[in-house]
Chain A
Amino acid sequence: MSSSIENSHFLLRRLHSLLGLVPIGAFLVFHLWENSQSRFGAAHYNDEVVGALQGLNYLLVFELFLIALPLLFHAGYGLVILRHGRAEPRRYGYLRNRLYWLQRLSGVGLILFLLLHVGLTRIAGLFDPAISADLFGHMQRALMQPPVFGLYLVGLLLAVFHLANGLATAAIVWGLTTSAEAQRRFGWVCAGFGLLLAAMGVHGLLGFLIAPGAGGGA
Chain B
Amino acid sequence: MQAQTPSDSPACETVELQIRRQHGPTSRPYWQTFACPVRPGANVVSLLMDLREHCVTQDGTRVDPVAFEHNCMEEVCGACAMLINGSPRPACSALIAELEAPIRLEPLPKFPVVRDLMVDRAALFAHLKQVKAWIKLDGPWDVHERAPRVSPKEWQANYLYSRCMSCGCCMAACPQFGPQFGPEATFVGPAPLAQVRLMNAHPTGRYDKAERLHAIMADGGLSDCGNAQNCVRVCPKAIPLTTAIGELGRETTLQAFKDLFGPH
Contacts and interface: CB of A to CB of B under 8 A. Distances in A.
Interface in A1-50: 1-5, 7, 9-11, 13-14
B163 interface: no
A88 B228 CA distance: 10
Given A88-B175, A100-B227, A180-B240, A175 B219 contact: no
Interface stretch (B16-24, B91-99, B248-256): B248-256
Please report whether the interface of chain B is mostly helix, strand, loop or mixed according to DSSP.
helix
B246 A179 contact: yes
B260 A5 contact: yes
A84 B259 CA distance: 27
B185 A183 contact: no
Nearest to A9: B219
> What bracket does the count of chain B residues touching chain A fall in?
35 or more
Interface stretch (A57-65, A91-99, A128-136, A190-198): A91-99
Given A4-B214, A13-B223, A97-B230, A178 B175 contact: no
Contacts, number: 122
Interface in A75-106: 81, 83-88, 91-92, 94, 96-97, 99-101
B229 interface: yes
Contact of A178 (B227, B230, B247, B259): B247
B150 to A, nearest CB: 19
> What are the nearest 6 A-B pairs in CB distance?
A175-B250, A178-B246, A13-B223, A100-B228, A175-B249, A2-B259
Interface of A: 1-5, 7, 9-11, 13-14, 81, 83-88, 91-92, 94, 96-97, 99-101, 169, 172-180, 182-183
10 contacts: A1-B264, A2-B264, A9-B221, A86-B180, A87-B175, A87-B228, A92-B230, A96-B230, A97-B229, A183-B246
